Structure 1
Amino acid sequence: MEIQKEIELEDIEKLLGTNSLVIFSSGQIKRVILPSHGIVEITTHADKVTYVENKIKEKF
């Protein structure tokens, strides 16, 4: 999972057709490129996003 540093509001329209998540927090806009499979967990603290975590389970 790749977290892109801040993006601009006008860049959001360019993301149409991609497998992305856009997060608005603390006056910032960030893009997360979602993995092909797995769980993406967002952790917040004090009304702000603090972590974005990718969890992938491998079936054996």
Structure 2
Amino acid sequence: MADLITGLIGALFEELFAATGRRLLGPLGWRRPPDIMCVFTGLLFWIVAGVLAYAMLHR
């Protein structure tokens, strides 16, 4: 059961944060950016998107 949860969390980080980071860094000329850079870039993107959505919905 613990392996299932670990796998789901790993897949979530890979699909949501790392893939978003790769898509954002691709147009900037990064062919194969490091995974940690992709995760932090994707995480930063989703934090900014969430804060903007919150700010627009709670005026």
Q: Which has the higher contact order (CA 8 A, sep 6+)?
A: 2
Answer 1 or 2: which has greater strand percent. Answer: 1
Q: Same fold (TM over 0.5)?
A: no
Answer 1 or 2: which has greater helix percent. Answer: 2
- Taking structure 1 as the reference length, what is the TM-score of the superposition? 0.30
- Taking structure 2 as the reference length, what is the TM-score of the superposition? 0.30
